Amino acid sequence: HRDLLGIAQLQPHEILFLLDEADRWVEHNRAHGRDARLAGLTQINAFFENSTRTLLSFEIAGKRLGADVVNMHAAQSSVKKGETLIDTAITLNAMRADVIVIRHGSSGAVALIADKVDCPVLNAGDGSHEHPTQALLDALTIRRRLGDIANKRIAICGDIMHSRVARSNILALTALAAEVRVIAPPTLMPAGIERMGVTAFTDMDAGLDGCDAVMMLRLQTERMAAGYIPSLREFHALWGLTPKRLERAKPGALVMHPGPMNRGVEITSGLADDRDRSTIAEQVEMGVAVRMACLDVLTRGRR
Ligand code: CP
């Protein structure tokens, strides 16, 4: 079987294939279509970290395809009684899951579980490593809005250092030949990020110049040592997206955010709610379609 652990493992044609499949599911969902191709399969969503969008959209995606979907929330599980990650994986495997979706706070934890189970594993976010379905849904959103991804100038802004969304998006968007810029305070910019094929800016206005899409990221304070959390007021003043600052981007540039948002910190409320510019709700809709595509493609060998 094949897993989806990260964008790094995908070739550009495989990314495009998943986007094409997801495109069809968007139309299917809008037409209230029915499909039961995962009927009889058991999907376990094991979430060791909080989630609204990813957990619910994987659950909805599995149910729209007819799977039996069950959710394991670590906070209510025997992880709280000291059970190890590997023993949890062996337990899920013994229940004969057909596909397992995992979110975990540690980078590499999802790969560790994938190594211990006999079914496809999908990474729903592991630490600051990867969040592949988020990057696919972001790419789908951009492609549907702008027609193409190649040669588009896309800025990813904010806490690049701790963001798995940034890493997966950099991998996906550069694979699809976009010009990717990352904009961050010096303390939240990973050293050597240029080796990923991006241009790094610490000055937000310079970085936004001529961009087709601007992707804002939340400060991942849960991954920062207490003494290193930036001042929110200073962060907003220098790296927050405001209507004035957005004037540096192309007219009509897309305003994107994977959620959850911290209004008034990385983005003003007005921009988040701007129905013409903001794709935030559309990204959530694309998320269900992308997850249907991934669940369908990865379980084909079991049906
Ligand atoms: N974008 C994202 O992963 O959101 P959740 O943490 O709510 O799943």
User: What per-residue confidence (pLDDT) applies to 230?
Assistant: 82
| Full-model pTM | 0.97
Provide residues with CB under 6 Å of ligand 1. Answer: 51-54, 125, 134, 258-260
Please state, in angstroms and rounded to a whole number, the distance separating the CA atoms of residues 216 and 212: 13
Which backbone phi and psi does 50 adopt, to 5 degrees?
-65, 155
SS3 163: coil
Could you tell me the pLDDT band of residue 112, with boundaries at 50, 70 and 90?
very high
Given a contact cutoff of 8 angstroms between Cβ atoms, the answer to whether 287 and 133 are in contact is yes
| pLDDT confidence of residue 79 | 79
For a pocket test of ligand 1, which of 47, 50, 52, 73 has the largest count of ligand atoms closer than 8 A to its C-beta? 52
Q: ipTM beyond 0.90?
A: yes
Residue identifier of the C-alpha nearest atom 5 of ligand 1: 51
State the Cα–Cα distance between residues 303 and 286, nearest whole angstrom: 25
Query: Is it the case that residue 199 has pLDDT exceeding 90?
Result: yes
Looking up tokens 């806490």 gives 159
Condensed to tens digits (0 to 9), the pLDDT of residues 130-165 reads: 999 999 999 999 999 999 999 999 999 999 999 999
Active site residues: 53-54, 81, 103, 131
* Section 258-275 average pLDDT: 96
User: For 183-192, what is the mean pLDDT?
Assistant: 96
Shortest-distance atom of ligand 1 to CA 258? 1
Residues 6 or more apart whose CB falls under 8 angstroms from that of 30 comprise: none
259 alpha carbon to ligand 1 midpoint, in Å?
6
- pLDDT of 227 strictly over 80: no
